[in-house]
Each structure stands twice: as structure tokens, then as C-alpha cells.
A and B are shown apart, each in its own frame.
Chain A
Amino acid sequence: MQGNREMKRLFVGGLGQGISETDLQNQFGRFGEVSDVEIITRKDDQGNSQKVFAYVNIQITEADLKKCMSILNKTKWKGGTLQIQLAKESFLHRLAQEREDAKAKKEKSTTGNPTLLEKMGAVDFHMKAVPGTEVPGHKNWVVSKFGRVLPVLHLKNQQKHKIMKYDPSKYCHNIKKIPENLTETTPIAELTWELEGGNDPMSKKRRGEFSDFHIPPQKVKKVQKSNDPMESKVSNIGLRTNQVMEKNKSTHPVTAHGTAPSTVNPSKQLLVSSSGTQKPKHVVFHNSDFEIIWNKSSMSDDDVDSEDELKMMIAKEENREKPGHSSVNESEHDTFEVVRDDFKSNIHKLSSSVSLGNNHEYDSSDTDEIIAMKTKNAKVKNSAESSQPERTVSKKSSFQKIEPSNDCIKVQGINSNKESALCHGVKFVNPKFPPDSSGSDSEESEEDEEYKVLMENCPRVSLTLADLEQLAGSHRKFPGKDSETNGPQNDSHCKFDTTSKNPKTSGDLYNGRQQCILPEEIVASLLEDENTYSKQKSEEDILKPKFQAFKGIGCLYAKESVDKTLKENIAFNTGGGHHSSLKHEDHNRSLMENGSKCVNGSSSKLTSCQPAKKVNDPNHIQPPKRQCTFENQNHKVMSSTSCDKGSTNPLPGPLPLKAKTSLHLSANSHKVDSDGDACHWPESRKALEKERTNLSNLESLEKSSKVSPREDPQKSPAGFSLSDSNASCINAKDKQAEDNQKRLAALAAWQKAREVQKKLVHSALANLDGHPEDKKTHIVFASDNESETEETSTQEQSCPEKELMKESVSKSPGKLFDSSDDEDSDSKEDSTRFSIKPQFEGRAGQKLMDLQSQFGSDERFRMDSRFLESDSEDEKKELNEDKVNEDELAAEKKKTLNVVQSVLNINVNNPTNKGSVAAKKFKDIVHYDPTKHDHAIYERKQEDKEKESKATRKKKKEEAEKLPEVSQDMYYNIAADLKEIFQSMSNTDEKEEDVPRTEAGAREGTGKIRNAETLACEPEQTTGFTFSFFDSATKDEKDATYRIELVKHGKIVCPNDPRFQDSSSEEEDIAEEADHSKPSPGEAVPENEAIRFFFFSENDDRLRGSNLFWSGMGGSISRNSWEARTSSLLLECRKKHKEAKRKVKAN
């Protein structure tokens, strides 16, 4: 027993829900060793368990299994009928089994193979013998290496014609033993190998790395080449380009740097020397060019705000670039080290390196400006301001140092100078700072802090117009709080106040931050301010070259800020430059007039700010649509003008006028600017443009008027210049104005065209109105008054349209009556007109008429009787021929029919009588023609029968009921009228009429009368429609007879309808009873609903059944009677059934 025990897997089905593994274990444990129980529950969608079954692994003998099956199978246990079957082994078991089998096989194959081979009678190719031993019993077979038996080959040598013997045992080494163990297969993943990466793009692509954006390197090169001549510039521009690229999210600023000429490096190396001593901290980034970008971005405070973001970007780009440009990085190492300093400085703001870095930035960016401005600075020095000399000195030194350049010490010096200069600027702006602090190093930290504040404020400024306005408001309200809140503003003022380039450039930078768009405007404004301090006109000449330099910068800025095409930018810049020059002239002039007041006091500015704001207000009103950048510009321009005003304020003389003019000028210049800008804006701004141009025009007019009366010698040239400027302004404006005028002209033209069109339409409509009347007259033309109408028509033609209208209107009524007068003659004419002309009479005439109709009313082809006469003979001949032909055909037909007859062996009774034949033959397909009398056969005659029968029945009923109210007089009176009216009308019309009648209160009476009328008329009525109409009418009048009628429909239908035939007799009775008892269902249905029927007319045949149904439902008496009769009916039915059965049986 024990030995026979085997592992069996049993399927146990039909288990109850609450079964547990232990239950099963206990149950089956009696028969063997239960090793594993697995309960499975099948569930449906809702999660209710449908069936529960289990797999039981049991160590069991055959006998026990049988016993188990017999005992437990199909027994009820714990709420289920057990169903035990032998199951397949668990797949895990099977798997294990297979593995074991495989192992066993292996062992077997190694050991038992020879025997098997021997059994099969094959030669064992494996012999365990020393290689080289001959196989016994087989000639020329030897045991080779690894014990394999191989034949000795005799090969023919190719060259020597000699047969060689090839003994495999001697050349054993060409046999390789392949290891049998194939289990150690390499996974598929390892089968693929990676391509060793080169840095060339193809290999990168092969590796699936795609750099997502490539700026064509040539472009960058170009830019740099163009900037090459000035070394410092180069670096500056290189940085700028980097910034630009960053803006564009380009991933290849590296290329720019890589291609950047080596001249860039020295300047940067200077910084390295300066900065390298301070912070060697950020070596991590040393290989990345993005530090530069980072720094630049942080320096110029571009759109990107948080450093974290920048870091992320940099890290990304580093990762991206590292593989590609590892080789390039080495060469670029130096360049990036330069940036590292700045980077540090950015992070550690309070450290002096910050200022250094920043200053360096300014320096690099402004070098060209500085060089351009050199000559001017000398003049600037002469100005009476206290702070200016210091600045100029510093500038001078800076210039001197820059020109030799390339030495770290010098650069440092420059930096320090610039720092100081910056400090000056800042201090200058902020009245709280003492003016002496410019040269001192002790306050550097403070200045730096201040600077930081400024820096921090700048992005805020850039945010919105609202902020700016707020700032302006704060300016106005809290003049004392300049240092903090007005920092940026002060900064801008500082730009204007000081001619020093450093603050300017910083201002540029700030502006770059503040307004991403149109920085060249700011540059222009800066220039204006510079010019305010220069008193001589000669300066203007110097300034002009400057402009170009600024333009270049502006261009760069534009690149930074706006993602527009280069060309656009250039155009933009040139435009901006032009405007700026214009402005600048204006300002110069105004300053000359004012006697060139030094504008050092910021307090004065603040006071002046208020009028400026006032000026701003109208401007602000204009552009709700305008972008904040515009407004920023406005602010700046205004501020500058306010400065001017501030200067003018102390002047006692022509203050108001000048202020005004200055205001206007500023407004003007602003407008010019805005216009210039607006040129590039989309058309949506056109309205704004127009406003601006209008304003500017007005202002220019005002100016001209104001300027002319001035008598001062100083003012006269100013006036002249003003006029010049105005002219130039106007030139600029003219374009706009012209464009606007063109547009306006086009609009006007269009409007005119529209008006003309309108007029035309009007006239046409008027004609239309007139025409019908004309036509009437035309109809009259045929009559005697032809001449008159002709005259009128000529008159009308001569008259203008309005008169025509009037005439036609006036004439038309008269003519209407006239025509009535002429009616007799017309009628005569008509009678003659419609009489057939003699030439068209007869059959031939008809042909002629046909011919004529083909030609229409063409005079040339009018058919006369001549045609008729000439044709008549031929016609007759033809007729004869036709007759002959017809006869022939008829004969032929007869013949053929005879043949048919003979063929078909049937009698074709009346071949000539087509009608009868047709009627017979087309039984299935009859084209019903209601006009034909024959087709009356196909009409349904039910209605008639019904009506007749109904009429008779009604009569009977009428007699029975006898409505006493009916008076014969009324009946006769009304019947004549109403019948005519209502027969011609549709149901709906009738109902509409009904309502007023009911209102009149005569409803009941009329109803009754009509009822009587229907009774009288019904025999005469033949059509179903009229019947139904009257039916509906009676329905409305809640008449008893109506109900009777309605039911009678049913009655009559019943005999026709085979389905109802059995119960027809008693249905009738029921219906009749219903008539008496029914609470008038017809009344319950309101009239309006009845009107709404789309598909059914009232008392529609199709509805009859339902009507009947409802009528039957209504009566309780009918039900009672029905119930009473059911028994008798049933009896009858059974009787009939039996009879039928009997008959069937009998048959």
C-alpha cells in the first residue's frame, strides 16, 4: 500500500461558499496525505462568487482514490454537491517533473547511448580509445581525438596528381569539441553590443542622441567677425550673442565661443587674474560655457528669473554638450574661467567681486560707447556740477586704461574706477547720499548694497505698467522715500542727469531688464539727456556718430529682447535712431532756451515729476492696449522732459510757455517714437496710431503758433530749430498721416460707393414698387389708352427717379379705375384673343401651330394660312399614307396575333379592343386615374355603403330619440349658407370659425341645427371628407348624435374587418349602449389638439379602431352587459366548436 502511494491532484468541485482549506484537508485526510489545498472561487462582474472549487494535492493509493471517489463524489457537503475528479497535475509540479526528466535523460544519454546505438545496429561513433587506433571490423576508420570515429580519407593532390592519405587522428586539432552544455545561453539583451561612440554627429545619432537645436555656426561667426575690429567689443558682443542664443534657448553657445577669435581671450584672462585670486570655488563649472550665459543673464537680468532655473538649464546644457564638445572645452577653458568670477560674484552679492564683475560687465559692454564719447567728455567736464568732475576724471582714466588694455592691473583699475563712478551715479541719484562719497572706498559696501537694492528693484519695474505707475505715484506722494522705492526710477534719472557713461550703461542694462522690447528708445532718451548738458550745437555733430554705436547696441538689445528677425530689428533700430536724433535736437534747443540749468537736484525732478505725470496721463489714457514697454518708454521720456521742466522752473521769464513747449515737445517726441514703433506693430494698433498722430499734429500746430511770437534772440534760433524739428517730425509723421489719409480716403470712397449702391438699390426698389403699376398700365396698353400710357412712360423716362415714383404712384390708382372702365372692351379683346386663329384650325392647323410654337413669337417665322394651304395637300397625302400604314400595321398585328394564338394554343378573344385587353391584362399594375370613370371600380366604396347604412340607422335612431328643440325654420335658413361655406373649407378653417360662433353664444343652437342638417344631408353626401367634417363639427358641439355616429363607424367597420366578424353582433350592441352612457369623450378632447393632427384627419379610418376601443372602455354598462353575455357567448362558442369538430370527424 505504502509503496503504491502516488501524488494525485484532485479536482473538487461544487463546494459551498464557506469552505475552508482545513475542512478539505480534514475531509480528504482520511484517504491519504493531503499536501496542498487550493481553493478557487469564480466571481462574476459584481464580485458575487459563482462557483467554488478546489484542487487538492494528495498522496494517495489507487484503492484509496477509488474509495474516496465512491464515497465523496456526488455527496452533499457543507452546502454543495461534491464533484471529485482527477485533475491534471499542477503546472509547477509538471515543470519540476520535466526538469527531472530532462536531467535523467541527460544522464541516460551519456551513459546509455552506446547500448541504444547497438540496439539499432548502428556503429558507435564514439570510442574510448587512444586516438589513432583502428576501429575493429571497419577498414579505414580510426579513432580520432575526443574518441570520435572518423574515416581515413584518400584525397587527390591538386598539383602533384598524387593521392594523399588523410588520417584524422593525426590531424586531430582541426576537430573541435563543442561543449554540450547549451544551457548557459547569453540573454538576447547581451547579444547586442554598443557602438563605441565617437564624437562625430553620425555616431551620436547612431547612439540615438540628438541635439535638439543647432544654430548654424557660420552665422555666429559672421557676427563675431563683424565685431572683430574692437577687441573689447568682441568680448562684449560675444557675450551678447550668448545671451541672444540663450534667449532662443539654443544649446550651442559653445560653438560661438569656440569660434570666437583668440582676441577675446586676453581680455577675459585679465579678469581671470583678477578674479582667480578671489574665488577658485566654482571649479565644477569650469568646462562649461554656460557659466557665461548664466552670468550674463544674471547680469542683465533677462527674462529668466530664478537662479535655480538657470542652474537647471545650465546643468542640462552641460550634460548635453559634454559628450559633443569635450574636445572643444579644453580650448575654451580660459573663456569660461572668466565667467566663473562673475558667477561667484552673483552668488555672493555682498562681496566686492560683485561690483567688480558688474563693473566689468558694464565696461565690456560700454567700451565702444566710451570711445565714441571721449571727445565729448572733455566738454562735459566743464560743466558746473560738483559730482561731474570726479566722474569725468574717472572716465578719463578708464578711457586711458582701456585703450592700452589687456593688462589685468589696468582692468582692475578700470573696474575700480567704474565702481566709483557707479557709486557716484547712485549717490547722485539719491539725495540722501553725500556727494563726496564718490571717491571713497569705505562706502563701497554700502554702495554695493544700494546697488543690490537697485538690482532687485529692477525686475520689479520690468513687471508691469501698473507697477511703474505705482512707482510714479510713490514718486509723487513720497518724495522722501527715494532711496528704496524709487530706486529704479532714480536710476533712470541718474542716467539722464549724469553724462557719465557708466551709469548710462548701467541704465542701459537696467533698461534691458526693465523693458525687453525696444531698448534703443531708451538709449535715445539717454542721448537726449546727455545733450541737455552739452550747451553747444557742435556737440550734436559728435553725437551723431555715437548714435550709430548705440544703434549697434540697440540692435543687440533688440536681439536679446525680441525674437524677431534681424532685418526687422535693424529697420527698427534705424527708425529708433532717427527718432532719437529728432528728439535730441529738440531737447538741445529747449535747453538752449532755458540757459542750460544743471539738473543735479533730484528733488527738483520730483517736483517736476508731477507735471510730467500730468503729461503722462493723456498718454496713459490712450493705450490700454499698448504693451507695458511702451508705457515704460513714455515714462522715461516724460521723466526726461520733467527734468527739463525742473530746469525751467527756476527761470522766471517765459516759464509757462516754455514749459508748455517742452511738454509738447516731449509729447511730440514721444509720439514720434511711438509712431515709429507703431509702424512695426500689427494693424490692431492703427487706431492708437491715428490718435497719436492726431495729437501730435495738434501739438505741432500749437507749437508753431507759440514759437512764432517769441522775440528773444535765444529763442529765435530755438524756434527755428523747433520748426526744423517739427518739420522733421512732420516728415516722420507725414508718412503716417499720408497712410492714414489714404486709408481714410479709401474708407470714404468705399462709403461713397456704398451710398451709391444704396441709392441704386433704393431706386431699383422704387422702380419695383412702381413697376407693377406700370405693368397694369401695360396691360391697358393693349386697349385703347395705349397712346396715353406711352406718353406717360416717356414722361417717366425723362423724369428723375423720385418724380417717377410719385407719378407712378399717383397714376396707378387712377389707372386701376380706368381699366375698370375699359373692362368691356378688354373683355371683348380677350374673347377675340383667345379664339383660335383660322390658320391654326383643324389638324393641319395644329401642326402649323406646333411649328409656330417652335419658333416662338419671332415675327420672321410667323405662320400664315399660306403655309397651311401649301402644306395641306402634302398633309393629306401623308395622312393617307399614315392611314395606309396603320392599316398595314393593323393587318400585321392581326397576323401576328393569329400566330400567337396558334403558338400558345389559346384564344385571344378581342385583340382590337385594347381597353378591355388592357384592363384584363394589367390586373396587378393598374394606373389609377381618378378622372376616368372606369377607374371608379378601384375606388373604395366602403364609405358610401357606410354612409347609407349610417343614414338609415341614424334615421331610425333619430326617430327614437327625437330632439324636440330643432326648429325647422332655422334649419332651413342656415343650412343653405353653412353648407356652402363649410364644404369648401378645411377642418381647421372651420374650427377657427367655430370659435367666434361659440362666443356669440349661439353654439348650442347651431349645433343642434347642424345636427339636424347633417341628418338631412347625409343621404346626399357621398364623399368621406364632408362626412368627417360634419362629424368633427358635431363633436365640437357635444352632441349625442355625434357619438352615435362615431360608434357606427365601428359598427360598420366590424363586418368588413374579418378579425371582428365573430363578435360583431354584440359589439354593436355594446357600442350602442356606450353611446347612451358615454360621458362624451369627444368633448374631453379640446379643439386645439384636434387641429394639431399632422397625419390624421379627424375621424381617420386608421383611428377608428382606437376610437372604438376607447368608446368601449368608457361605458361601465357596456362592460356589465358584456360580462353578462360572456357566459352565453362562451356556451355558444363551445357549441360551435363541437359542431365543427363533429363535422371534421364525419368527414
Chain B
Amino acid sequence: MRPLTEEETRVMFEKIAKYIGENLQLLVDRPDGTYCFRLHNDRVYYVSEMMLKLAANISGDKLVSLGTCFGKFTKTHKFRLHVTALDYLAPYAKYKVWVKPGAEQSFLYGNHVLKSGLGRITENTSQYQGVVVYSMADIPLGFGVAAKSTQDCRKVDPMAIVVFHQADIGEYVRHEETLT
């Protein structure tokens, strides 16, 4: 468990900023307490100060996780967002995609969102913009990347992919063993 290096922080923030933009600031500088990011087993955890203190008592090799896992660094030192970060990112999401009830399940099984399943999308979403996927009942379902801009989405045929799948809450079931 160690603080992130500057490089790591940059990579991670770049990633997170794709989803929440300047709201990232709010994650770092929270009014209700001090929160920080910690790297442990290549995973980045978002921890409150209090919890950090408590976790300091546990040796590194025994510690499984602390706080909330935001994602992990791959071997190539890229940051991959985990679905566990959804609770923190969804409220600040700038670009959102709502999927139809029929396509909900498909998305939750790890599939991309097709245009036929696209219920609603934030306007002026650009291509490859990180989006948070919601159900039509406004329940956040996961992360995605817009495969098409909003304008393109209108023209594209119904079976075309609109949102690439990144992470979804189905992973809580599917990847139970790797999610920490």
C-alpha cells in the first residue's frame, strides 16, 4: 500500500476525467473529509483518511483491500476502471447513456450497447467519450465508451454498436473473485 506516484495519478485521473470531467476535483477535494488514493496490488483504492489509518495496522501482504477499489493498473501501466467505482463516479457523470429495458440485460452480461437498445443519450456526446450507462429507471448500470457521437447515433443502423462496454454491475456476479 503506497500513495500513487505522480505518473500513476496522472494516468488514473485522465481516465476518470473521461467520465466525470472537472468533477474529478470533487473527488479529490472533498468537503466532508480527507480522501486519498492508495495503490495496493496494482489496484487503486479510494480511501478516507480514517480508514487509511486503520488499514495502516495491517501488513501489506495480508491486506486484501481497503476503501473502494477504483480500478487497476495493467502491466502496461494503463489504468482500467472497475465497476466498484461506479458509486462514486455516477453522480458526477457528465455524459450519460440510458439503455432500454430490453437491452439492459444484454449490457449487464457484458455486451456492448446497440442502437436498438439505446433509450436516451446526452446530447453532444463526442466519439470515444466515457459515459455512464443508466437504465431507463435511472439506475447506473456501468461504464461505457461512446462508439458514436450523438449525431452519428441518429444515422446509424439499429444493430450498430453505440456504446462500448467497459464495466457493468453484472461483474459483481460474474467477476466476484477479482473484484475487491
From A886, A895, A921, give the contact of B26 (CB < 8 A).
Answer: A921
Kindly list chain B residues whose C-beta atoms are within 8 Å of the C-beta of A903.
Answer: 10, 13-14, 17, 24
Q: Give the interface segment out of A57-65, A780-788, A910-918.
A: A910-918
Kindly list chain A residues whose C-beta atoms are within 8 Å of the C-beta of B3.
Answer: 892
From B25, B31, B49, give the contact of A889 (CB < 8 A).
Answer: B49
How far, in angstroms, from A122 to B37 measured CA to CA in the complex?
92
Q: Could you mark each residue 870-904 of chain A with 1 if its beta carbon is under 8 Å from any beta carbon of chain B, else 0?
A: 00000000000000011001101101110110111
How far, in angstroms, from A255 to B124 measured CA to CA in the complex?
96
Cβ of B29 within 8 Å of any chain A Cβ, yes or no, is: yes
A882, closest chain B residue (CB): B53
A917, closest chain B residue (CB): B29
Check A897 against B17 for contact (C-beta < 8 Å). no
Kindly list chain B residues whose C-beta atoms are within 8 Å of the C-beta of A915.
Answer: 31
The residues in A between 911 and 961 inclusive whose CB is less than 8 angstroms from any CB of B are 911, 914-915, 917-918, 921-922
Q: How far is the CB of A678 from chain B (nearest CB, A)?
A: 72
Q: How far is the CB of B122 from chain A (nearest CB, A)?
A: 17
Check B22 against A906 for contact (C-beta < 8 Å). yes
Check A899 against B10 for contact (C-beta < 8 Å). yes
From B24, B29, B37, B53, give the contact of A911 (CB < 8 A).
Answer: B29
The residues in B between 26 and 76 inclusive whose CB is less than 8 angstroms from any CB of A are 26, 28-29, 31, 34, 36-37, 49, 53
How far, in angstroms, from A1031 to B90 measured CA to CA in the complex?
50
Kindly list chain B residues whose C-beta atoms are within 8 Å of the C-beta of A914.
Answer: 29, 31
Query: Could you tell me the dominant secondary structure of chain A's interface residues?
Result: helix
Check B28 against A896 for contact (C-beta < 8 Å). yes
Cβ of B177 within 8 Å of any chain A Cβ, yes or no, is: no
Q: How far is the CB of B46 from chain A (nearest CB, A)?
A: 11
Q: Could you mark each residue 13-54 of chain A with 1 if its beta carbon is under 8 Å from any beta carbon of chain B, else 0?
A: 000000000000000000000000000000000000000000
Q: How many of B's residues come within 8 Å of A, CB to CB?
A: 21
Kindly list chain B residues whose C-beta atoms are within 8 Å of the C-beta of A900.
Answer: 13, 24-25, 28
Cβ of A908 within 8 Å of any chain B Cβ, yes or no, is: yes
The residues in B between 1 and 27 inclusive whose CB is less than 8 angstroms from any CB of A are 3-4, 6, 9-10, 13-14, 17, 21-22, 24-26
Check A904 against B36 for contact (C-beta < 8 Å). no
Kindly list chain B residues whose C-beta atoms are within 8 Å of the C-beta of A922.
Answer: 31
Kindly list chain A residues whose C-beta atoms are within 8 Å of the C-beta of B22.
Answer: 904, 906
How far, in angstroms, from A904 to B14 measured CA to CA in the complex?
8
How far, in angstroms, from A893 to B9 measured CA to CA in the complex?
11
From B6, B17, B34, give the contact of A895 (CB < 8 A).
Answer: B6
How far, in angstroms, from A220 to B14 measured CA to CA in the complex?
99
Kindly list chain B residues whose C-beta atoms are within 8 Å of the C-beta of A902.
Answer: 10
From A893, A899, A917, give the contact of B36 (CB < 8 A).
Answer: A893
Q: How far is the CB of A1108 from chain B (nearest CB, A)?
A: 40
Kindly list chain B residues whose C-beta atoms are within 8 Å of the C-beta of A886.
Answer: 34, 49
From A889, A890, A899, give the contact of B6 (CB < 8 A).
Answer: A899
Check A889 against B36 for contact (C-beta < 8 Å). yes
Check A896 against B21 for contact (C-beta < 8 Å). no
A908, closest chain B residue (CB): B25
A899, closest chain B residue (CB): B9
How far, in angstroms, from A899 to B15 measured CA to CA in the complex?
13
The residues in A between 79 and 117 inclusive whose CB is less than 8 angstroms from any CB of B are none
Check A904 against B31 for contact (C-beta < 8 Å). no
Given A899-B6, A900-B24, A918-B31, A885-B53 contact (CB < 8 Å)? yes
The CB with the most chain B CB atoms within 10 A, among A886, A892, A902, A915, is that of A892
A918, closest chain B residue (CB): B31
Q: How far is the CB of A905 from chain B (nearest CB, A)?
A: 9
Q: How far is the CB of B158 from chain A (nearest CB, A)?
A: 35
Kindly list chain A residues whose C-beta atoms are within 8 Å of the C-beta of B13.
Answer: 896, 899-900, 903-904
B23, closest chain A residue (CB): A921
From A893, A899, A904, give the contact of B34 (CB < 8 A).
Answer: A893
How far, in angstroms, from A914 to B25 measured CA to CA in the complex?
12
Check B34 against A889 for contact (C-beta < 8 Å). yes
Q: How far is the CB of A883 from chain B (nearest CB, A)?
A: 13
A913, closest chain B residue (CB): B29
Kindly list chain A residues whose C-beta atoms are within 8 Å of the C-beta of B37.
Answer: 896
How far, in angstroms, from A902 to B31 measured CA to CA in the complex?
21
How far, in angstroms, from A893 to B21 measured CA to CA in the complex?
18
B27, closest chain A residue (CB): A900
Check B24 against A917 for contact (C-beta < 8 Å). no
A901, closest chain B residue (CB): B25
Kindly list chain A residues whose C-beta atoms are within 8 Å of the C-beta of B53.
Answer: 885
Check B9 against A904 for contact (C-beta < 8 Å). no
Kindly list chain A residues whose C-beta atoms are within 8 Å of the C-beta of B36.
Answer: 889, 892-893, 896
Kindly list chain B residues whose C-beta atoms are within 8 Å of the C-beta of A908.
Answer: 25, 29
From A885, A893, A918, give the contact of B28 (CB < 8 A).
Answer: A893
The CB with the most chain B CB atoms within 10 A, among A896, A902, A921, is that of A896
How far, in angstroms, from A911 to B30 measured CA to CA in the complex?
10
Kindly list chain B residues whose C-beta atoms are within 8 Å of the C-beta of A911.
Answer: 29
A911, closest chain B residue (CB): B29
Check A896 against B9 for contact (C-beta < 8 Å). yes
Kindly list chain A residues whose C-beta atoms are within 8 Å of the C-beta of B26.
Answer: 921
How far, in angstroms, from A921 to B92 measured CA to CA in the complex?
11
Q: How far is the CB of A1042 from chain B (nearest CB, A)?
A: 47
Kindly list chain A residues whose C-beta atoms are within 8 Å of the C-beta of B31.
Answer: 914-915, 917-918, 921-922
Kindly list chain A residues whose C-beta atoms are within 8 Å of the C-beta of B29.
Answer: 893, 897, 908, 911, 914, 917
The residues in A between 296 and 315 inclusive whose CB is less than 8 angstroms from any CB of B are none
From B4, B21, B28, B34, give the contact of A897 (CB < 8 A).
Answer: B28
A925, closest chain B residue (CB): B91
How far, in angstroms, from A849 to B34 measured CA to CA in the complex?
26
Kindly list chain A residues whose C-beta atoms are within 8 Å of the C-beta of B21.
Answer: 904
Check A904 against B24 for contact (C-beta < 8 Å). yes
The CB with the most chain B CB atoms within 10 A, among A899, A904, A906, A917, is that of A899
Kindly list chain B residues whose C-beta atoms are within 8 Å of the C-beta of A885.
Answer: 49, 53
How far, in angstroms, from A917 to B22 measured CA to CA in the complex?
13
How far, in angstroms, from A921 to B4 measured CA to CA in the complex?
25
Kindly list chain B residues whose C-beta atoms are within 8 Å of the C-beta of A895.
Answer: 6, 9
Q: Could you mark each residue 1044-1057 of chain A with 1 if its beta carbon is under 8 Å from any beta carbon of chain B, else 0?
A: 00000000000000
Q: How far is the CB of B172 from chain A (nearest CB, A)?
A: 27
Q: How far is the CB of B77 from chain A (nearest CB, A)?
A: 15
Check A904 against B17 for contact (C-beta < 8 Å). yes
Q: How far is the CB of A922 from chain B (nearest CB, A)?
A: 7
How far, in angstroms, from A207 to B22 measured CA to CA in the complex?
87
How far, in angstroms, from A573 to B49 measured CA to CA in the complex?
93
How far, in angstroms, from A248 to B6 measured CA to CA in the complex?
100
How far, in angstroms, from A917 to B26 measured CA to CA in the complex?
9
How far, in angstroms, from A925 to B49 measured CA to CA in the complex?
24
How far, in angstroms, from A892 to B29 measured CA to CA in the complex?
11
How far, in angstroms, from A915 to B28 measured CA to CA in the complex?
15
Q: How far is the CB of B130 from chain A (nearest CB, A)?
A: 13
A912, closest chain B residue (CB): B29
B29, closest chain A residue (CB): A911
How far, in angstroms, from A635 to B21 measured CA to CA in the complex?
107
B32, closest chain A residue (CB): A918
Q: How far is the CB of B86 from chain A (nearest CB, A)?
A: 19
Q: How far is the CB of B131 from chain A (nearest CB, A)?
A: 18
Kindly list chain B residues whose C-beta atoms are within 8 Å of the C-beta of A904.
Answer: 13, 17, 21-22, 24-25
B31, closest chain A residue (CB): A918
Kindly list chain B residues whose C-beta atoms are within 8 Å of the C-beta of A896.
Answer: 4, 9, 13, 28, 36-37
How far, in angstroms, from A906 to B29 measured CA to CA in the complex?
15
Kindly list chain B residues whose C-beta atoms are within 8 Å of the C-beta of A899.
Answer: 6, 9-10, 13
List 9 tightest A-B contacts by C-beta distance, closest first. A918-B31, A903-B13, A899-B9, A914-B31, A904-B22, A896-B28, A899-B10, A911-B29, A903-B14
Residues of B within 8 A of A (CB): 3-4, 6, 9-10, 13-14, 17, 21-22, 24-26, 28-29, 31, 34, 36-37, 49, 53
Known: A890-B34, A892-B3, A893-B29. 9 other contacts (CB 8 A): A886-B34, A889-B34, A896-B37, A897-B29, A899-B9, A902-B10, A904-B21, A904-B25, A921-B25
Contacts A/B (CB < 8 Å), 11 sampled: A885-B53, A889-B49, A892-B3, A892-B36, A896-B28, A900-B24, A902-B10, A904-B17, A911-B29, A914-B29, A921-B26
